[in-house]
Structure 1
Amino acid sequence: MGAPFLFFFLFLLRAASASNDTVTPTQPLKDGGVLVSPTGKFALGFFSPGRSANRYLGIWFHQVPQQTVVWVANRDNPIAAGDSGILSIDSTGNLVLHERRDGTKFPIWSTNVSAKLGSSSSRFAQLLDSGNWVLFSENSTVALWQSVDYPTNTLLPGAKLGLDRKSGLDRFLSSWRSEDDPGTGDFSFRVNPRGSPQVFHYRGETPYTRSFPWPWGTYADIFDVSFINNEDEVYFTITVTEDSLLFWEVLDSSGILREKIWRTGYDDWKEYWATPTQKCDSYGRCGANGLCDPSNFNTFECSCLPGYEPKSPTSWRLFDGSGGCVRKSSESETPDGFCGVGEGFVRVQKVKVPDSTRAVWVGKKSGSELSCEDECRKNCSCSAYAEMESAGGNVKGCLLWFGELVDTVYFPVTFQDLYVRVDAAEFANYQGGSNDSFELKLKLSILLPSIGSVLLVVIVLGFCWLRRWRNRTAKKRRIRDLFHPNHGSNHFTDSVVTEEMEGGSVYPELPFFSLNAIRAATDNFSPANKLGRGGFGSVYKGRLPNGQEVAVKRLSENSRQGLEQFRNEVLLIAKLQHRNLVKLYGCCIEEEEQMLIYEYLPNRSLDLFLFDRKGGTLLDWMRRFNIIVRIARGILYLHQDSRFRIIHRDLKTSNILLDAELNPKISDFGMAMILEANQVQWQTTSIGGTYGYMSPEYAVFGKFSEKSDVFSFGVILLEMITGEKISRIYQDEENSNLITHVWMKWKEDRALEIVDPSMEEGSYDTQEVLRCIQIGLLCVEENVEDRPNMLTTVLMLSSAMPLPLPKQPSFASTGCSIIPKVTGGSCSLNDVTLTGLVTR
């Protein structure tokens, strides 16, 4: 009698808790009711997405203020507006969703599980803390059906994404149609088990992006990511290592796969990672047998693998690599491939190896030796191989490719090398497979024909230009003089300027305004429209005939500094497009006037808000953090994602403009310089920038790099937190500046004392502020090597990744300490940009 009574007691207990997380045959869920998982992480109920009035049954994060739906039952069969839904367990033991219309119930979704597995009356469905919704039988712990086997657009931690080889169940993500419609969209994210398995991102049936092929290792950061491949199943899974962290991987309606995190205190999700975000993320960007290098911002990102040449050289000269590459003609080539004497393999280092859908995996047997090169040589059709090993070394073997090599990408952080088969003549050229020789020959094979063609075009166009424009007005002569490659500025290499000017790529994209039009827009440069003045000249507010408000930067007649800035900005900023960079609409060069026409930003510069008592109160912590993150993303774009690799050199709060919603935009690219793709650092004898924001290696020795901008960003970050200028002197701390002041407070575990008093205590997340202070101190490290790059800085700001401890700063950046001693120059604390300071 004891066992049946206990079973009956447990059944009653479960029935009593049904209203919390469970649906039973006697306890349905109606529209308006909500199930909540045991610890409150997830909720299940009916919802209407976005502006839609339709009703759907779904699961969402219960703890996040902004409703974030992770699963939808009836995504392609909504309940119409005005009708209502009811979820129940029917007589067959299945979960069934009915739509009640005019008093009649119509089934619109069901789990469709066999009724043979247990009695229907003993079944129940429970929402778990993992976000999984499971249908159980009372006398079994085995799931009869579970929602994680049928994901929509979201992968939750612990859920599998991939194929069950025995049952044929394929778990994959598919995007929503839009934010208002969770119906199946155009994009999907799924495991492709063919060849050596990979995770593919599709648009329709066309590959969009691709992961590394198996074997993957398990790697741990904030998340544990692993890829399992065995006889029973092949799948990808993520687990979160921090209990306090919520994780969400979602394939959005635009086709972007995003990983986001949320923890207590956040007001929104923080994006941790996304793809595709750059050109080389696109599948097959450089065609068959091509190699895509995402770091090639100054040149074409595509080159050919060793032994190959562009299929269409003309297309490649036009920066179109989609046609890919073909084998160079060779005497040793046979219909079956290459099996000649003296052939070999050229190593291409650190790549995402090609699409392995048609590759063959040869595994290493226990206790035996395996030569991947020998395995490839056995077959004349084998075009390349890679030695593959998972993290921990538990899977070792070779991937052999036959035929075309598609979607090979330089990936510096990877350990994988690709060995490409070439004939004897080509192998001799590469001196035994040297990767350096390979890179040099690839660049020369593309650049030399391109340079020859460009020079020919330049000569012809130059001749025509001289004939046509010999008698042009002073206005056109002024344009020529201002932008000639030998103008004297060292802000750009001659090759870049020649490309921009003689290639004619600036002017067609940048409109020229007449002087009369600008005079009319600014009411003849009325003092009432004057927004400010700098070393270059004045800025005026204007309104174009179409109603567009603009800011007009008018170059001072006697400003050499402004002339250089003008040239730099026209050549550079016209090419930049980012939400956090100020937009250049055009320019005016007429009579004795040179003017730049920008978008008008009503809230002017950040320093006017930050260092003003009244303005500072408008910048609560949420707004400040938003500004910090957006500035960082703008700098990251300059360093990594724009066409050129750009160092701003004059980042400061007065060069950060704010739009109507207080979103920041980086401005003033007059001091910006371009680094070549393989260039880490540049040295100049003419220092341009603002003391206090200048890194020590630049201010003293004229050396600058991406890390110089990181230093400037760190100063801005500390100013945003403290509300104090970098130029402030703390007399009570032996004339320390802001950086050393913050460091002393940090060292004494009193860092929160530096927070701007205009932000009331309790109005900000103290842990987030402390994290930002630590990031700021890391960015202003004296040693260049110790500073993070901007990609790492953005990740540190937008995720919970562990932070290293900062070191004591020894560089006083007030502008009145180390600089005058080295240069013998004078000192100023007015934040005016300086140029032309010659270092030793």
Structure 2
Amino acid sequence: MKTILLLFLLLLVLVHGQSGDRMAPSSSIVYGESLSSAGGIFELGFFSPGDGGKHYLAIWFKSISVMTAVWVANRDSPLQSARGSLNLTADGNLVLFNSTGFVVWSAGTSGAVNASLQLLDTGNLVLTGGAGDGAAVVWQSFDHPTDTFLAGMRIGLDRRRNVDRYLTSWKTASDPSTGEFSYVMESEGVPQLFLRRGAGDVVYRSGPWTGRGFTGRPKMGTEPLFQFAYADDRDGLYYTFHVSDPEILTRAYLDEAGVFRRVTWTKGSDRWNLFWDVPEDQCDLYGTCGRNGVCTTAYSPRCQCLQGFVPASHESWSLRNNTDGCARRTGLNCSTDGFLPVQNVKLPDAVNATAANKTADECMSWCQSNCSCTAYALIRGTECIAWSGDLLDVRSFSDGGDEVYIRLAASELGSLRGGGAGKRKATKAVFISVASIALASACFLLALWLRCRRRTQVNEEQKLELKLYEMSTIRAATSDFSMENLLGEGGFGPVYKGEMEDGLEVAVKRLSKGSAQGLEEFRNEALLIVQLQHKNLVRLLGCCIEEGERILVYEYMPNKSLDTFIFDKARSELLDWDKRFAIIVGVARGLLYLHHDSRLKIIHRDLKTSNILLDYDMNPKISDFGIAKHFKVDQIEESTEIIAGTYGYMPPEYAMQGLFSEKSDVFGFGVILLEILSGKKSRTFDKSQPHKNLLILHAWNLWKEGRCLELIYKAMGDSCPKSKVKRFIQVGLLCVQERSDDRPTMENVVVMLRSEDVTLPNPTDVASTLPKPSDIVVHTMIPTRFVEVKAECCGLGELRGKIACTPISSYCSKSSDHIFWDFYHPTEALVGMLTTAAVEGSLPYVYPVNVRQLIEL
């Protein structure tokens, strides 16, 4: 009898259990059963994230290998066991019961006739009621999103049904309960999207819709993969998107840290790839520079006042506290005021703004006639936005953005138009790039000088947009290159701190006279950096080529280089996990820009901690492009017979064979990542293991033994999230693998660092072995302040008696600051001495070179 009863119960389960894309009235699904959309793209069922103690009804992508939930029904009321059931009741209500029959969640839709539940290929779970053509949508999951925004979904208000659709983050990466961040379309003033923390704090603001996209993301309209749409009418206010290729899987989601990310699925690599995210940088954060301030990543410090405004508190401003913002230098007079156009910006917060359909002239007249109007803008050709009060959350863009007209007193407009011999015109904002206003004659002179000195010409030289400084300006800025202004000695000359007449702090790199290699570096930096612009690359402001000097002028980095922090016992205490995390991700993004996102494909070739500079806010910027190489778009690899780089950061294929590619920089990045996490130098020299990169070897051994967290710098202690640190160590080891093909691209690295949803492969065999003395030629460049220079330029002075080998070549200039020497088959003692000197900083460059290549020369 018991057997018959069990069979009957099993039959009921089979009858009521679902395997298609629909549920009929009086049917249910239980744990282990699911609904699948017709195309097999999405699945509805029960899942248990994290430790498995809590269970949820959810929709996820069915056709991919990574479990990715896009909607969770009972996010704040989890089932405590795996024995719940989803029921479509006879009266058309969708109800989730727990194991005791208690209602955990309900759609609240009782009364629907001929109800039917269907999971669509869009990921929308739709409950309809009625028969035939009269069937109508009674309830749908797209009206009740959790953290994910799918194609076809609408974010915003349905005015007919009074439904407000917005995103809320998960509490943690493994806890889908309601987190503290939300992404909401708000209609106060002019509609905008707001990313908020808690009930009020704004983290990020999209700005108004401009017809192409939101003003805070000017490149939205240039993304061919997506079609974005916006509507504001009597039926509703919403933002949506569609995908041009239905085969592409994509989603946008608000993560637990308050970052809104758009990702796409890559079938070949089986992972989600980051397309973009916001907030992307410090200037994306709401109100960074206070009222009437403007934020730009192209300058340091990043905050400036809009033209016609001055810091409200000069003391706070000088301390980089910009919360007080800026105030008008001259009060308004209503009838005599005018307007200053400010271009390439994110429009100010429009909560205190009003919109109306007007032409450009009507828009200006409307604002002019209203004395409380402080600015206006025209978007979508016919929509006029007028602001009252202070202007908040303005940022500049190097490319794209909108134009806003700011109301200023007549006297302010007159001084702006007439001051500085026409150099500051009212049609230019204070933050427009210096490169965009450089004199064409300066560009021509620099290109001509380079051609005469090097007798070569490349197309890029005709496109230089550098400001040409006079030597008198450079001397005044650096106090005539005084020792008090000396910041340090670079590989090819000293670097000085300078202050221009307008108060701008700069770093002045003075190339050593008579250095042939330095001349090549100068040319390379001038040609490459001027064409690159990214928040994580040091910015080249201009150059000087007078009096036989070759000088590059950079933005000043007050916190110097990364190595001065992580390898200094006292200063390293200032770098907590959050700062180290930001530095690692920043360097990764800078490299990704060089490899993929800039108009040139650049291989840096000398990535190391001393070439990562830190600005006022500890933002990292990659510097020193003297030996960087420009690749063609489809070029994968190149070989060289002159190995240039730094011992300890070079991958084996480059050090031994002269082969370099994107993966060479990836290797250097991996070394830097491990140095940042451990606080240890990669080039530590141990006489008992002279041919080992001890940091990589140490990290690898700890990883294999399951003790990788012992690698991290002790001062970070318990302040760092252990799972994330372990993930970063794994990424670092993947970057320093022996075979270049096994290393990830920087595009993959950025995704792996920023998204915990991506499953990481395990590292296999890292490159911990350095070239042996019998296999290399050591090329040294030795600053003369460390050695005694012989008049005939063929001695190593104080080092000479310590070297038990014969040089095969040497060269230097009588006026040079350096000696260059190559040694054939150096002894281990020489390698040890030179390597130790390099680590201590007395020999900044030690280049291993493959002997066979040298003989072939």
Task: Pick the TM interval, shorter chain.
Answer: 0.5 to 0.7
Asked whether the equivalents of residues 52 and 180 of structure 1 are also in contact (C-alpha less than 8 Å), the reply is no
The letter for the 2-side match of 1:669 is S
Counterpart-to-counterpart distance in 2, 1:832 and 1:171? 60
Match of 1:669 among 593, 604, 610: 610
The answer to whether the aligner puts 1:235 opposite 2:238 as a matched pair is yes
Asked whether the equivalents of residues 355 and 384 of structure 2 are also in contact (C-alpha less than 8 Å), the reply is yes
Q: Displacement of 1:833 after TM fit?
A: 4.3
Q: Displacement of 1:165 after TM fit?
A: 1.9
CA shift digits 1:253-285 (9 cap, x unpaired) = 111111111032223211111111311111111
Match of 2:43 in 1: 43
SS for the counterpart of 2:153 is coil
Q: Displacement of 1:428 after TM fit?
A: 0.6
Q: Displacement of 1:226 after TM fit?
A: 2.1
Q: Displacement of 1:74 after TM fit?
A: 0.6
In 2 relative to 1, CA 714–257 (structure 1 residues): closer, same or farther, beyond 3 Å? farther
In 2 relative to 1, CA 327–128 (structure 1 residues): closer, same or farther, beyond 3 Å? same
In 2 relative to 1, CA 829–208 (structure 1 residues): closer, same or farther, beyond 3 Å? farther
Counterpart-to-counterpart distance in 2, 1:186 and 1:84? 30
Asked whether the equivalents of residues 345 and 403 of structure 2 are also in contact (C-alpha less than 8 Å), the reply is yes
Q: Displacement of 1:791 after TM fit?
A: 9.7
Q: Displacement of 1:371 after TM fit?
A: 3.1
In 2 relative to 1, CA 32–576 (structure 1 residues): closer, same or farther, beyond 3 Å? farther
In 2 relative to 1, CA 267–492 (structure 1 residues): closer, same or farther, beyond 3 Å? farther
SS for the counterpart of 2:316 is helix
Q: Give aligned pairs, total.
A: 536
The answer to whether the aligner puts 1:154 opposite 2:136 as a matched pair is no
Match of 2:526 in 1: none
The letter for the 2-side match of 1:286 is C
Q: Displacement of 1:241 after TM fit?
A: 1.5
CA shift digits 1:671-691 (9 cap, x unpaired) = 98999xxxx999x9xx954xx
Counterpart-to-counterpart distance in 2, 1:323 and 1:716? 54
Asked whether the equivalents of residues 42 and 62 of structure 2 are also in contact (C-alpha less than 8 Å), the reply is yes
Equivalent runs, 1:727-738 vs 2, <5 Å: none
Asked whether the equivalents of residues 215 and 227 of structure 1 are also in contact (C-alpha less than 8 Å), the reply is no
The answer to whether the aligner puts 1:61 opposite 2:61 as a matched pair is yes
In 2 relative to 1, CA 329–41 (structure 1 residues): closer, same or farther, beyond 3 Å? same
SS for the counterpart of 1:431 is helix
In 2 relative to 1, CA 138–437 (structure 1 residues): closer, same or farther, beyond 3 Å? closer
SS for the counterpart of 1:373 is helix
Asked whether the equivalents of residues 649 and 672 of structure 1 are also in contact (C-alpha less than 8 Å), the reply is no
Equivalent runs, 1:371-520 vs 2, <5 Å: 371-389=362-380, 396-431=382-417, 434-435=425-426, 439=430, 484-485=486-487, 490=493, 492-495=495-498
Counterpart-to-counterpart distance in 2, 1:573 and 1:303? 18
Give unmatched runs, 5+ long, in structure 2.
1-14, 214-220, 419-423, 435-481, 507-555, 576-583, 644-648, 662-745, 756-808, 814-819, 826-844, 849-857
Match of 1:90 in 2: 89
Counterpart-to-counterpart distance in 2, 1:233 and 1:16? 38
**Percent sequence identity over aligned pairs:** 32
Match of 2:212 in 1: 217
The letter for the 2-side match of 1:417 is E
In 2 relative to 1, CA 829–671 (structure 1 residues): closer, same or farther, beyond 3 Å? farther
Equivalent runs, 1:705-716 vs 2, <5 Å: none
Counterpart-to-counterpart distance in 1, 2:567 and 2:587? 21
The answer to whether the aligner puts 1:133 opposite 2:136 as a matched pair is no
The letter for the 2-side match of 1:428 is G
Asked whether the equivalents of residues 431 and 437 of structure 1 are also in contact (C-alpha less than 8 Å), the reply is no
Q: Displacement of 1:95 after TM fit?
A: 0.4
In 2 relative to 1, CA 496–155 (structure 1 residues): closer, same or farther, beyond 3 Å? farther
Q: Displacement of 1:244 after TM fit?
A: 2.5
Match of 2:22 in 1: 22
SS for the counterpart of 1:377 is helix
Match of 1:278 in 2: 281
Asked whether the equivalents of residues 632 and 713 of structure 1 are also in contact (C-alpha less than 8 Å), the reply is no
Counterpart-to-counterpart distance in 2, 1:493 and 1:791? 35
Match of 1:110 in 2: 106
RMSD: 5.2
Match of 2:294 in 1: 291
Q: Displacement of 1:215 after TM fit?
A: 3.3
Match of 1:206 in 2: 201
Counterpart-to-counterpart distance in 2, 1:369 and 1:251? 37
Counterpart-to-counterpart distance in 1, 2:635 and 2:499? 26
Q: Displacement of 1:310 after TM fit?
A: 1.3
Asked whether the equivalents of residues 212 and 353 of structure 1 are also in contact (C-alpha less than 8 Å), the reply is yes
Match of 1:185 in 2: 179
Asked whether the equivalents of residues 651 and 713 of structure 1 are also in contact (C-alpha less than 8 Å), the reply is no
Counterpart-to-counterpart distance in 2, 1:274 and 1:303? 25
In 2 relative to 1, CA 411–573 (structure 1 residues): closer, same or farther, beyond 3 Å? closer
Q: Displacement of 1:55 after TM fit?
A: 0.8
Asked whether the equivalents of residues 217 and 227 of structure 1 are also in contact (C-alpha less than 8 Å), the reply is no
Q: Displacement of 1:153 after TM fit?
A: 0.4
Match of 1:777 in 2: none
Asked whether the equivalents of residues 306 and 430 of structure 2 are also in contact (C-alpha less than 8 Å), the reply is no
CA shift digits 1:712-735 (9 cap, x unpaired) = 997599x99x99549859xxxxxx
The letter for the 2-side match of 1:106 is F
CA shift digits 1:4-26 (9 cap, x unpaired) = xxxxxxxxxxx999522222224
CA shift digits 1:380-412 (9 cap, x unpaired) = 1110011212xxxxx522111011111011023
CA shift digits 1:278-308 (9 cap, x unpaired) = 1111111111111111222xx2211112332
Counterpart-to-counterpart distance in 2, 1:829 and 1:429? 67
The letter for the 2-side match of 1:266 is S
Q: Displacement of 1:132 after TM fit?
A: 0.5
In 2 relative to 1, CA 833–226 (structure 1 residues): closer, same or farther, beyond 3 Å? farther
SS for the counterpart of 1:426 is helix
Q: Displacement of 1:651 after TM fit?
A: 3.8
Equivalent runs, 1:482-561 vs 2, <5 Å: 484-485=486-487, 490=493, 492-495=495-498
Match of 1:468 in 2: none
Counterpart-to-counterpart distance in 2, 1:357 and 1:231? 20
Counterpart-to-counterpart distance in 2, 1:636 and 1:155? 26
In 2 relative to 1, CA 411–826 (structure 1 residues): closer, same or farther, beyond 3 Å? same
Match of 1:164 in 2: 158
In 2 relative to 1, CA 26–306 (structure 1 residues): closer, same or farther, beyond 3 Å? same
Asked whether the equivalents of residues 351 and 408 of structure 1 are also in contact (C-alpha less than 8 Å), the reply is yes
CA shift digits 1:406-426 (9 cap, x unpaired) = 101102332411111011111
The letter for the 1-side match of 2:378 is E
Equivalent runs, 1:332-343 vs 2, <5 Å: 333=332, 338-341=333-336, 343=337
SS for the counterpart of 1:430 is helix
Asked whether the equivalents of residues 340 and 427 of structure 2 are also in contact (C-alpha less than 8 Å), the reply is no
Counterpart-to-counterpart distance in 2, 1:582 and 1:633? 22
Q: Displacement of 1:827 after TM fit?
A: 10
SS for the counterpart of 2:231 is strand
Counterpart-to-counterpart distance in 1, 2:367 and 2:639? 55
The letter for the 1-side match of 2:178 is T
SS for the counterpart of 1:49 is coil
Asked whether the equivalents of residues 286 and 407 of structure 1 are also in contact (C-alpha less than 8 Å), the reply is yes
Counterpart-to-counterpart distance in 2, 1:73 and 1:486? 60
Counterpart-to-counterpart distance in 2, 1:681 and 1:207? 31
Counterpart-to-counterpart distance in 2, 1:69 and 1:247? 13
Match of 2:263 in 1: 260
